[in-house]
Amino acid sequence: MSENCLFCGIVAGSIPSQQVAENERAIAFMDINPATRGHLLVVPRAHAKDLRESAPEDLIAATLLAQSLVTTVIERLDADGANLLSCIGAEAWQSVFHTHLHVIPRYKDDPLQLPWHPTPGDMDAIAATAAELR
């Protein structure tokens, strides 16, 4: 636990939240700044700044909990799909520095638009980048 971490406070129960699910290593609660109806956050109980620092067991538990919640929001909220998002670093929109996954239900006519707009890339540059990553 980190003393000044909002999500650690939620995990500990000292900060109120609308918790909806949990397992031994992770909890899920409603985002108070929802992108769409039903937007949830899934956080490992153990503090880590982001997924690079999280124990593999914590990431597995959080991912499995998120997986079950994707099914839940689609079935119970009549969502048309869902986004699963992890922001790593301030430049990638991370605002709370405790590993977390966003489960964002998506609806056919919802107004949510991420700033990324896919366009075809340069296939040679893509291949070169792939080679750098191998």
**Residue 71, H or E segment:** helix 56-76
Active-site residue, selected from the candidate residues 47, 100, 102, 117: 100
* Cα dihedral sign, 14-16-22-25: negative
Judge whether 39 and 128 are in contact, CB under 8 Å: no
What pLDDT score was predicted for residue 116? 61
**Residue 67, H or E segment:** helix 56-76
Judge whether 101 and 48 are in contact, CB under 8 Å: no
Average pLDDT across the chain, whole number: 90
Question: pTM of the entire structure?
Answer: 0.87
Among the four given CATH numbers 3.40.50.300, 3.40.50.720, 3.10.450.710, 3.30.428.10, the one describing domain 6-133 = 3.30.428.10
100 given a catalytic annotation: yes
**Residue 7: pLDDT above 60?**
yes
pLDDT band, residue 54 (cuts 50/70/90): very high
Q: What is the pLDDT of residues 125-134, one digit of tens each?
A: 777 787 777 7
> Where are the chain's structural domains?
6-133
